[in-house]
Amino acid sequence: MTSTEYFIIIIVVLVFIVVFQIAKASEYVSVLKGEKKAFEQNNRINGFLMLVFLVTGLAAAWWCNKVLYKKTLMGVPSASDHGENIDTMMWITLAIIGFVFVITQVLLFWFAYRYQASEKRKVLYYPHNNKLELLWTAVPAIALTVLVAFGLYYWFKITGDAPKTAMEVEITGHQFGWEYRYPGKDNVLGRQNYKLVDPSKNNPLGQDWNDAANHDDLHPSEMHLIVNKPVKLVIRSQDVIHDVGLPHFRMKMDAVPGTPTTMWFTPKYTTAEMKKITGNENFVYEIACDQVCGVGHYSMRGVIVVDTQEEYDKWLASQKPQFLTAHPDGVPPAAKSAAAEATGTQTPEGKPVAQAEEH
């Protein structure tokens, strides 16, 4: 154990001893004053402290909300159309829960003060009431059912079929980062095979270079989207379960190994517009991993840039297909093998002639 851990243990033991000694001292005082008188005095003090705690607690909650509200996501408008519905559900939920919380807590602490033990009042034995039990069971059940129904409706809408005009972007999680892939001019993402994953050969996504659809796919370092244009995200994972969290868009979806998931939304504000809305010149749309995925989970952060159509077209024109990065000569592996076999420098199995002769 470290010195810090020993220090913490010593502090805990000392606090326990102090509390124990205070309790013993209070017990001795009660004996000297008389149990009944001490009980009445302590009861009045506790009742008063209940009111103080109630008022202080509500005031502190209001003050924290006033000071910190603009620093939370709720102080920033949703950056997607679906996110507006999520925000509406959040506000309705907070309103219902907040109302119930304030009413019950005020009654709890007020009753503790108002109905403290007294010889002038007898305890009312009230063991059962069918109407009350039906009321406090049925009302919460109905309210929660309505909220769950709306939640399912929006969930199926987010995970359902995207508009035909939607752009498609693939995002793949791995420990500990994100990879992005865009289809080229053919608007088709090429085949992948996990056995082909090899970052050292410029193929971190396992693209099958013998598939012509892969030859124009792009693999940028950050995700770019177009404002007011629907986007469908195809989400994958290469190792463990991750989660694509888009807090400013109020969206999230698990990235599951071997099981692609999807969600779609429409960005409402460009990155430049959001900088003005938030008053933060350094603002960026973030991609967070909302599923603990290992020791480097905290560093798994991506960036989304929302552009105008003109800005996006300019960025897209500057991107180079990943196929050309992996094969600067522009020749796919199958063509190379066929050419080598035709010239007699390679066997039909794909091995060089010299190597085949050795075997």
pLDDT in tens, 123-157: 778 888 888 899 989 998 999 999 999 999 999 99
**Residue 320 located in a structural domain:** yes
58 vs 71: CA distance, rounded Å:
20
- For residues 154-166, give the mean pLDDT: 91
**Residue 101 located in a structural domain:** no
β-pairing, 242-246 vs 177-181, is unpaired
Window from 31-45, 69-83, 94-108, 342-356 with minimum mean pLDDT: 342-356
**DSSP per residue, 3-56:** HHHHHHHHHHHHHHHHHHHHHHHHHHHHHHH-HHHHHHHHHHHHHHHHHHHHHH
- Tell me the CA distances in angstroms from 109 to 38, 46, 334, one per residue in order: 22, 11, 77
Q: Which residue has the tokens 């409706």?
A: 153
Q: How confident is the model at residue 353 (pLDDT cuts 50, 70, 90)?
A: very low
pLDDT value for 28: 61
* CATH number reported for the structural domain that contains residue 203 in this entry: 2.60.40.420
Q: Encode pLDDT of 88-123 as tens digits.
A: 999 999 999 999 989 998 999 898 888 887 777 777
Contacts of 110 (CB under 8 A, 6+ apart): 51, 54
**Residue 213 located in a structural domain:** yes
Q: Encode pLDDT of 234-270 as tens digits.
A: 999 999 999 999 999 999 999 999 999 999 999 999 9
> How many structural domains comprise the chain?
2
pLDDT value for 252: 94
Window from 46-60, 189-203, 239-253 with minimum mean pLDDT: 46-60
Residue 71 DSSP one-character state: G
Q: In which domain, by residue range, is 12 found?
A: 1-33
pLDDT value for 172: 96
Share above pLDDT 90 across residues of the chain, in percent, rounded to a whole number: 54
Residue 182 above 90 pLDDT?
yes
- For residues 54-64, give the mean pLDDT: 89
Highest mean pLDDT among 4-8, 88-92, 329-333: 88-92
pLDDT value for 84: 92
Average pLDDT along the chain: 86
Helix (H) or strand (E) holding 246: strand 242-246
**Residue 61 located in a structural domain:** no
pLDDT value for 129: 87
Highest mean pLDDT among 17-31, 125-139, 158-172: 158-172
What CA dihedral angle connects 92, 96, 102 and 103, to 10 degrees?
150
Its pTM stands at: 0.75
Q: How confident is the model at residue 35 (pLDDT cuts 50, 70, 90)?
A: low
Contacts 24+ apart (CB under 8 A), 200-207: 201/326, 202/322, 202/325, 202/326, 203/322, 203/326, 204/179, 205/172, 205/179, 205/181, 205/322, 207/322, 207/323
pLDDT value for 255: 95
**Residue 139 located in a structural domain:** no
